[in-house]
């Protein structure tokens, strides 16, 4: 079955929306190949973080991944706030680690002299799996329910615009 022009345009628009390219002028000027390369770079970073965490934990070490590339640091900071291009990559990393009873932590670090800064990415163990619902809320654990029964909204699990459109939601 061949794709119609409408199907092809819908795929292109979904890719541009995931990259946070929203205005019509930006979409028309965007180079889809560049967007796909950028997504591949972000996916590679997320894969390295996950693989390093797993390797280090299995070796009996406290996991630590240092990110010192400025572009990668900015993307991780935006992802932590739920505002990054290709947010779904970060969201899936957080959710996967949550299923392993791990909470992802991003910690700002610097040399103390103002010359260098970097991000330390690590995980801390949790007594229960961290389960995220499709709407970005985290299911509370028993102890959390006793203190406050409302679900916790995690910014880094915020749905991307593409997903909102696909699910028929409009949260603007």
143, part of any domain: yes
Contact status, residue 13 vs residue 21, Cβ threshold 8 Å: no
171, part of any domain: no
Say whether pLDDT at 164 is over 50: no
Q: Would the pTM count as exceeding 0.85?
A: no
Query: Two tokens at 63?
Result: 């996991």
Predicted local distance difference test score (pLDDT) of residue 50? 96
Rg of the chain taking only CA atoms, in angstroms: 18
172, part of any domain: no
94, part of any domain: yes
Question: What digits encode the pLDDT tens for the residues 91-130?
Answer: 999 989 988 999 999 999 998 887 899 999 999 998 888 7
Contact status, residue 38 vs residue 89, Cβ threshold 8 Å: no
89, part of any domain: yes
Question: What digits encode the pLDDT tens for the residues 46-80?
Answer: 999 999 999 999 999 999 999 999 999 999 999 99
Q: Count other C-beta atoms under 10 Å from residue 18's C-beta.
A: 19
What total number of domains does the chain contain? 1
63, part of any domain: yes
Return the sign of the alpha-carbon dihedral for residues 77, 80, 86, 89: positive
Say whether pLDDT at 21 is over 90: no
**Collapsed DSSP state (helix, strand, coil) of residue 29:** helix
Q: Which domain holds residue 66?
A: 5-166
37, part of any domain: yes
Q: Per-residue DSSP letters for 78-95? A: HHHTT--TTHHHHHHHHH
Predicted local distance difference test score (pLDDT) of residue 149? 60
> What dihedral angle (degrees, nearest 10) is formed by the CA atoms of 87, 88, 90, 96?
160
């Amino acid at each position: 079955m061949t794709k119609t022009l409408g199907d092809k345009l819908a795929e292109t628009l979904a890719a541009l929306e995931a990259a946070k390219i929203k205005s019509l002028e930006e979409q028309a000027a965007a180079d889809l190949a560049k967007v796909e390369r950028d997504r591949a770079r972000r996916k590679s970073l997320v894969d390295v973080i996950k693989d390093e965490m797993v390797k280090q934990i299995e070796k009996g070490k406290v996991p630590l991944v240092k990110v010192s590339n400025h572009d990668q640091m900015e993307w991780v900071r935006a992802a932590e706030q739920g505002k990054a291009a290709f947010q779904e990559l970060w969201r899936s990393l957080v959710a996967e680690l949550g299923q392993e009873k791990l909470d992802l932590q991003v910690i700002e670090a610097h040399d103390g002299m103002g010359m260098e800064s970097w991000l330390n990415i690590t995980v801390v163990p949790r007594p229960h799996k961290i389960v995220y619902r499709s709407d970005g809320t985290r299911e509370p654990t028993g102890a959390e329910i006793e203190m406050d029964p409302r679900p916790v909204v995690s910014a880094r699990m915020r749905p991307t615009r593409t997903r909102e459109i696909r699910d028929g939601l409009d949260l603007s």
